[in-house]
């Protein structure tokens, strides 16, 4: 590596470590998915790193809004988990639905989906990563997908429960309004 490049890397690394040590929050556990930096843009057009969700257990899934068949079921699964909770428990749970199709899932599209699906806008984030980050977030969540030539996706459908620090507590591939009771039990236990 050329010397100027090396120096630039050192400077960048130094700047990075300064930026990464602001608040008094304890360091992230090493097995937290939030170890992956991930900027998301939500249905309100706001951009934030998903670490902002730290401090509250989260229900997480990946979807794409133009999906005709399974993705509405993913949203329904999230709502079904919520229905199985008391209002007090529900208030302590956040929901993050992350798009695998950022090219089409713009804030306007996500906002429309939130309206159509009657989603609780305060606790649910429908959000898109940058196109280059989709594989990475799918990687930490172990979601598999392939885009087809017609723009649809083949993908695995999962609901994942993260604790307040982003550690995976449970996952289920049972999708639909008939929720997996073992998964719901773990959600209750986490709240």
Partner 1 sequence: MRLKFAIVLFTVPVAVALAAGGAAWVKLPGGSFRSALKYEDAATTRVAAFELQKRPVTNAEFLAFVQAHPQWRRGKAPPVLAEPRYLQHWAGPVELGAKAQPQQPVVNVSWFAAQAYCQAQDARLPTWSEWEYAAAADETRRDARKDPAWRERILGWYSRPSSGPLPRAGLQAANAYGVQDLHGLVWEWTDDFSSLLVDPESRNQGDPDKSKFCGAGALSMDDRDNYAVLMRVAMLSSLQARDTTANLGFRCARDIRK
Residue located via tokens 């998903």: 50
d(C-alpha 173, C-alpha 182), whole Å: 12
User: What letter would DSSP give residue 32?
Assistant: B
169 interacts with partner 1 by CB under 8 A: no
136 interacts with partner 1 by CB under 8 A: yes
**The tokens of 110 are what?**
């996500």
178 interacts with partner 1 by CB under 8 A: no
Give the helix, strand, coil percentages of the chain, each rounded to 5.
Answer: 40, 20, 40
152 interacts with partner 1 by CB under 8 A: yes
Compute the least distance from the CB of residue 80 to partner 1, in Å. 17
157 interacts with partner 1 by CB under 8 A: yes
List the beta strands (DSSP E) in 6-99.
Answer: 39-42, 47-49, 58-63, 94-99
Q: Which of 11, 15, 35, 55 binds partner 1 (CB under 8 A)?
A: 35
Residues 45-74 that bind partner 1 (CB under 8 A): 69-70
Binding interface with partner 1 (CB under 8 A): 1-2, 6, 9-10, 13, 28, 30-33, 35-36, 69-70, 135-136, 138-140, 142-150, 152-157, 173
């Amino acid at each position: 590596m050329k010397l100027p490049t090396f120096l630039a890397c050192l400077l960048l690394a130094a700047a990075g470590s300064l930026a990464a040590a602001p608040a008094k929050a304890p360091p992230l556990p090493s097995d937290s998915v939030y170890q992956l930096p991930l900027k998301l843009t939500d249905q309100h057009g706001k951009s934030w790193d998903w670490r902002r969700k730290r401090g509250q257990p989260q229900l997480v899934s990946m979807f794409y809004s133009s999906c005709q068949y399974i993705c509405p079921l993913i949203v329904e699964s999230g709502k079904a988990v919520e229905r199985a909770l008391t209002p007090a428990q529900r208030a302590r749970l956040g929901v993050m639905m992350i798009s695998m199709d950022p090219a089409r899932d713009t804030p306007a599209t996500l906002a429309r989906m939130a309206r159509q699906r009657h989603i609780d806008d305060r606790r649910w984030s429908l959000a898109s990563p940058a196109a280059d980050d989709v594989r990475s977030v799918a990687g930490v969540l172990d979601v598999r997908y392939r885009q087809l030539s017609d723009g649809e996706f083949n993908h695995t459908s999962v609901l994942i429960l993260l604790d307040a620090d982003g550690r995976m507590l449970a996952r289920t591939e049972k999708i639909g309004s008939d929720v997996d009771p073992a998964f719901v039990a773990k959600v209750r236990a986490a709240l």
